[in-house]
Structure 1
Amino acid sequence: MSFTLKQIRYFAAAAEMGSISAASHSLSISQSAVTEAIKDLEAILGVKLFERHPRGLHITPEGRRFQRSVTAILAEVANATRVLAEGSKRVGGQLNLGVTSLTAGYVLSEMLSKFRRLHPDVEVTAIEDTGEYLEHLLVGGELDVAVMVTTNLRNVHALQSEIFEVSPFRLWLPIDHPLAKQQSIALPDVADEPLIVLDVDEMEQEAVKLLSAFGKRPKLAFRTRSVEAVRSLVATGAGVAILPDLVYRPWSLEGDRIVSRDVSGALPVVQVGLVWRKGAGMSEATQEFITMMQTLTASGVR
């Protein structure tokens, strides 16, 4: 019996995210589907790929070796897609792209690099602004497509969206914080902690709304538009943060360590996707950009 491409995509997501729940969010599937795929892979391969623990998954040495092979396989799938696309007719023209600050820092460079390799004759211009203003430009026809947080899209009647990443919120802590040692963290445990909020793309609203559910306003220790500032402040013990996994990195610029933890309860997710105007004539370059993102999302490689 051989494994399937779907199974190794699910394994790759679990290995990257370190938990079944985070992998299922990123893939927009059920947790049971990820669990079954991993069990089937372990049965086929005859090795244990993960050690389970209360905070998630810890990849085994055998799992790590398999992950290297899986990475190569998925890269070849993406490469095959690229080769087929490059064999088609050359596309020219211009692509006017909008991005929010969150997507500009974490997904823009990779997707533009892929698109330029596929369509070197397309001239790409990109602007960064708030989601609200990008929606205004899309409705007015001044942008072809935007890469942005789609969770709270305003002009739903005028705009069409397609999600390519779902990122769950998690709790960010300094490595020596008492909560980092708990087996289970609940939202009430966080209610009295000083909160560092990221004031971009409605991230602050989501964090404050969560903690305000306990009947008192959270203690806002710091408000910033810089993810790097959040990382540095959390790492040095100035407070905690509740942010999507999309922007999590374990180290601050100063080299201090931070950790992220799941919180029991209904934490929100951030949906990131493409947005364009409904019913508008779409340029060939715009269609190719959307098609590229749809292909990468379907293949599990972005």
Structure 2
Amino acid sequence: MALSLRQVRYFIAVAENGSVTGAAQQLSVSQSTVTEAIKGLEDDLGVQLIERQARGVALSYKGQQFLRHAHRILAEVSDAQSALRDQEAPLAGSLHIGVTTLVAGYCLSDLLARFRRVFPAVQVSAVEDTRDYLEHLLLNGEIDVAVIIVSNLRDNVALETETLQTSSYHLWLPSGHRLLRSGPVSLTEMAEEALIVLSVDEVEEVTGRYWRQAGVRPKVAFRTRSVEAVRSLVATGAGIAVLPDLAYRPWSLEGDRIEARPIKETLPELTVGVAWRKGLPLAPVAETFIDLAVTQRRR
């Protein structure tokens, strides 16, 4: 297999831009160069990664699986370069992290994996709980940092934060749904459909507030704390869902397709960040973790 880092970088660029044209512009190369790199990668792997569509491209099911590996490949290479450049004594100690449910499932694992690879001597422990309780733990000094939704922090004055990721809300629909048309979908149109609600972090709070402001009452068919349950229910036609992009995957665990469409009304972005207590001296391991998290955001 002749898989190259250049192919991996080009594949990630196509996935992030949703088009070969956008990837070529980002990489400052020709479209044909990107196309040839993706074709070579597909030949090397023996699977189709990209599905060509009328408007740009979309990742196939195998493409979605490989995207996660692609990010890890580049992270491993970067970490190896950093380790070889670092001649100081290895960082050691303990790091106590708090994390909310949605963040734990979609943002924390890659960050922790990278931190452990670069600093294997650090003992890391994590606790998952509600944002309010994690804020309490931070203020009491019971955890060092928290990776949480920072869009509506209760104690902005007492906590320092760094944004790691922002995520817009989209409408999730099963294939063949009547609302799969060009143009954004309004909350009024959505209110005619059965709604699947994810009741973790601030998702239900944010979306519920905007239903009320629009003066419409959705037909809630199911509430769950499981994103995978939402995915399966939507994919099989049990209802629609309004969720942030960070949780979006175009396939359910059963292999059924899920489509995402923009929402006509403007919902606030969901912001994931790292938080720590303001004015409290940070231990070197906590400071290093924050630096690594911010660096990963800027990649």
Shift of 1:88: 3.1
Shift of 1:57: 3.3
Shift of 1:132: 0.7
| Structure 2 unaligned spans of 5+ | 1-7, 36-50
Residue equivalent to 1:226: 226
Residue equivalent to 1:22: none
Q: Which of 30, 47, 50 in structure 2 is aligned with 1:45?
A: 30
- Taking the aligned partners of 1:17 and 1:234, their CA distance within structure 2 comes to 25
TM-score by length of 2: 0.78
Kept in 1, the 8 Å contact 2:79–2:114? The answer is no
Measured at CA, do residues 58 and 221 of structure 1 come closer, stay the same or move farther in structure 2, by a change above 3 Å?
Answer: same
Percent sequence identity over matched residues?
48
Residue equivalent to 2:286: 286
| CA-atom RMSD in angstroms | 3.3
Kept in 2, the 8 Å contact 1:191–1:214? The answer is no
Kept in 2, the 8 Å contact 1:104–1:128? The answer is yes
Residue equivalent to 1:121: 121
TM-score by length of 1: 0.77
Measured at CA, do residues 13 and 203 of structure 1 come closer, stay the same or move farther in structure 2, by a change above 3 Å?
Answer: farther
Kept in 2, the 8 Å contact 1:11–1:38? The answer is no
Opposite residue 18 of structure 1, the aligned amino acid is G
Write the deviation string for residues 147-195 of structure 1: whole angstroms up to 9, x where unpaired: 1111111100000110111111111011121112x01132132232221
- Taking the aligned partners of 2:116 and 2:294, their CA distance within structure 1 comes to 16
Residue equivalent to 2:260: 260
Shift of 1:75: 4.8
Query: Does 1:247 pair with 2:247?
Result: yes
Q: Which SS does the other structure have where 1:127 is aligned?
A: strand
| Structure 1 unaligned spans of 5+ | 1-7, 20-33
Shift of 1:269: 1.4
Shift of 1:52: 11
Query: Does 1:186 pair with 2:171?
Result: no
- Taking the aligned partners of 1:268 and 1:149, their CA distance within structure 2 comes to 13
**1:74-113 mapped onto 2 (5 Å cutoff):** 75=75, 78-79=78-79, 82-83=82-83, 86-113=86-113
Measured at CA, do residues 49 and 184 of structure 1 come closer, stay the same or move farther in structure 2, by a change above 3 Å?
Answer: farther
- Taking the aligned partners of 1:98 and 1:82, their CA distance within structure 2 comes to 26
Kept in 1, the 8 Å contact 2:135–2:155? The answer is yes
- Give the length in aligned residue pairs: 268
Residue equivalent to 1:272: 272
